Amino acid sequence: PGPGVNPGAVPGAPPPPSPLGEKSATAVRLFLEHYGLRLPPGEWTARSELRVGVGMASSTADIVATLRCLFRLFSLPYDTEVVVGVLAAIERADSVFLDEFALYLSGRHRLVRRLGTDIGFHTAYVTEPGTVDTAAVTPLLLEHYRRRGAAYEQCLTDLLKGFACGDAAAVARAATSSAVLSQEVLPKATFEGVLAHRERFGADGVFVAHTGCLTGYLFTRRPDSRLRSELAAFFRSLGHPCSFARAGYG
């Protein structure tokens, strides 16, 4: 999101509806209250490539983008403690406010461990129809995590070892284990087919949006044009267009 001056505003007229969502608007209010500031005249504009409710942290990303905009607008240094405080007052949140991987407790808003920027992936994925209400499924997920605690603990151990060694393939394998576990509680229609063809495409892992509708492959190396065409055709056969994106950092 970003502010812009509206030269056509009519003095005394009621302001137009804000393009910001309710959570981002709340973030603006909390930020201004924290610093004792007032917004200058102008209007907000917002644009996002993330579809709401598919598991790409869209609401958290919107809030963080709004806060980053406010820091720039008022020429204030970006303060992660302020960001965490605002997020904690609004919702469970992902660690998208950090410019690195991290082990983060979303409900408690506590950073447990920084995992750096050494690892990155190339991804090929599909977004299935529908949305997931994160708040509504949280009790179901927490019960699943308790029931499968040992398996998730092993998955976390493997994940952290991968990050510690800078081993992207090990991280991808841990992501696959986590995706398999997720299928038990919030299944994706495309998952079994994607998992079954992982070796065929030479993917290093499979990932899902654990509270969303995404399923896809992780590659430590960029797929060439031939492989990208094959992936696109495969996902079309599953009934969905394929998207490609870089993920991570390294």
pLDDT tens digits along 15-69: 445 678 889 999 999 999 999 999 998 888 888 777 788 888 888 889 999 999 9
Answer yes or no: do 179 and 236 share one domain: yes
Q: Which domain holds residue 204?
A: 117-248
The pLDDT tens digits for 124-136 are: 999 999 888 888 8
pLDDT for the residue 107: 85
Answer yes or no: do 132 and 241 share one domain: yes
Answer yes or no: do 162 and 84 share one domain: no
d(CA 160, CA 154): 10
**Band of pLDDT at residue 12, cut at 50, 70 and 90:** very low
Task: Please state the domain count of the chain.
Answer: 2
pLDDT for the residue 18: 63
Answer yes or no: do 195 and 88 share one domain: no
Tokens describing residue 39: 């917004």
**123 close to 217: Cβ distance less than 8 angstroms:** yes
Is pLDDT above 50 for 4? no
Residue 95 contacts by C-beta under 8 Å, 6 or more apart in sequence? 101, 102, 104, 106, 111
Q: 7-16, 106-115, 209-218: lowest mean pLDDT where?
A: 7-16
The pLDDT tens digits for 169-180 are: 999 999 999 999
Give the largest Cα separation in the chain, rounded. 64
**249 close to 118: Cβ distance less than 8 angstroms:** yes
Last residue of a domain, one of 85, 110, 135: 110
pLDDT for the residue 3: 43
Is pLDDT above 70 for 156? yes
Q: Whole-model pTM?
A: 0.85
